[in-house]
Amino acid sequence: MKISFHGACREVTGSCILVETEKTKFLVDCGMFQDDETYFKNEIFSFDPCDIDFVLLTHSHIDHCGRIPKLYKEGFTGNVYLTEPTKQIAEAMLLDSAKVFLKEKEHSPLYFEKDVLEATNHFFSLKYNKEKMVSSDVKIKLKDAGHVLGSCVFEVFVEGKKIIFSGDLGNNASPIVKNPEIIDGADVLFVESTYGATSHDSRESGRQALKQAINEVVKNNGVLMIPVFALERSQEIIFELKSFLVKGQIPSVPVFLDSPLAIKITDIYRSFANSFDEQAFELMKRGEDIFDFRGLKYVRKPNQSKKISAIKGAKIILAGSGMCTGGRIGGYLKKHLGNSKNKLLLVSFQVEGTLGRSLAEGAKTVVVDNQKVKVRAGVSSLHSFSSHADQEQIINWVSEIKKPKPKTVFIVHGEEESGLALEQKIKEKLNLDCIVPFSDKVYEI
């Protein structure tokens, strides 16, 4: 069968793998590019959507699902196979994207709300570990990827081969979602490499750094801004803040979650508490709401940043987007980046070419919503809250795939440097053949 890569190939965003068997053509993910050439890259598919039979969706991050409505807009009529939490979260994420497109003046929208609803009509949810024939020659099984709620690894059985698509692999340290499931064997493996070159600091050191940032800001009467992804990072940071408060490790300080999308997704999380990892599940079972505490305000109304900023005293603001590329965080950055008593804490991966990446790399002046802003606030990055496995965790996960060991490992979803570093490590430690693919090549497996 033929394999080609239409995104997340020697880069992180735009996940989309096309598999062509004798009888079937399908995609694994159909995500949006989120770098500086975004619009151009998102606008054109390098295949005909009418030819695709179905899509396997690993999870609801927009760089994995963000172009699915566009597929339908351009003639795709098949199903999207996914888990139930992914179905609900992806619908919220895609409706939000359609809204964001309408606000953009430079480009026409990639798709509209009606295209999202057409797509979600074809979302077909499946449970983990149940096999399903999805075409005359393709059988699939979903395993928990432990990355965000509902994320899955796809096991695909076709032409006598077992092929594994990791999607994004979770970080074992995450307290809410479970750890990635072990896969027993594979003929061919596709694995992500976002952190293929690096190790995360321990979650405990991240907690210490977060507490320290909060305590410093409280001492200075300043503002701690934490740009967050609406999915997973928002819920995890709230979970951590609550546990600091319960243990008396930080003073009580107002916390604002200024993201309607994050609020909606938090509600979806609550409704799937049964599938949480042990610690979070036990707390919810005891009747404790892990996503609520005194002092936490969910901000639903728009344009509240001025009002919130005007509230006297120290405060913590969580707002999207996680890479500062849009959303409500912009209003706070403009207001508070220029003051040295404030802090900006980046707790997510920052893609090359984004405002968040410039800030992480120490830019002294940045442009936020066409406004020049001097950076005097302290800026720091924490990688230990990542929802991705780091190099060691990826290697350990791949090493468990033994019966049989994969003959080929395709390394995707990582900047070139990360992909190549992971390739070297997998060859060295596990003695497996690896390919870091190119987007203009077709591979035969």
Instruction: Report the nearest approach of Zn ion to the CB of residue 424 (Å).
Output: 24
Please answer whether residues 139 and 158 qualify as being in contact, where contact means their C-beta atoms are separated by less than 8 angstroms: yes
Nearest to Zn ion of 172, 305 (CB atom): 172
Task: Of 355, 437, 378, give the one whose Cα is nearest residue 15.
Answer: 437
Instruction: Report the nearest approach of Zn ion to the CB of residue 229 (Å).
Output: 9
Helix (H) or strand (E) holding 42: helix 38-43
Instruction: Report the nearest approach of Zn ion to the CB of residue 405 (Å).
Output: 26
Phi and psi, residue 384, nearest 5° = -75, -10
Nearest to Zn ion of 168, 240 (CB atom): 168
Nearest to Zn ion of 331, 356 (CB atom): 356
Nearest to Zn ion of 64, 242 (CB atom): 64
Nearest to Zn ion of 61, 343 (CB atom): 61
Alpha helices in 53-132 (DSSP H): 62-65, 68-73, 84-103, 113-121
Instruction: Report the nearest approach of Zn ion to the CB of residue 167 (Å).
Output: 7
Question: In which residue are the tokens 């707002």 written?
Answer: 319
| Strands 408-412, 188-192: pairing kind | parallel
Instruction: Report the nearest approach of Zn ion to the CB of residue 250 (Å).
Output: 29
Please answer whether residues 9 and 437 qualify as being in contact, where contact means their C-beta atoms are separated by less than 8 angstroms: yes
Helix (H) or strand (E) holding 309: helix 305-310
Nearest to Zn ion of 25, 61 (CB atom): 61
Q: List residues near Zn ion by CB under 5 A.
A: 61, 168
Helix (H) or strand (E) holding 20: strand 17-20
Task: Of 197, 203, 314, 206, give the one whose Cα is nearest residue 255.
Answer: 314
Instruction: Report the nearest approach of Zn ion to the CB of residue 231 (Å).
Output: 8
d(CA 168, CA 249): 33
Instruction: Report the nearest approach of Zn ion to the CB of residue 322 (Å).
Output: 11
Return the exposure string of 386-424: e unless at least 16 CB atoms fall within 10 Å of the residue's CB, then b.
Answer: bbbbbbebbbebbeebeeebbebbbbbbbbeebbbbbbe
Task: Of 181, 171, 116, give the one whose Cα is nearest residue 143.
Answer: 181
Nearest to Zn ion of 61, 328 (CB atom): 61
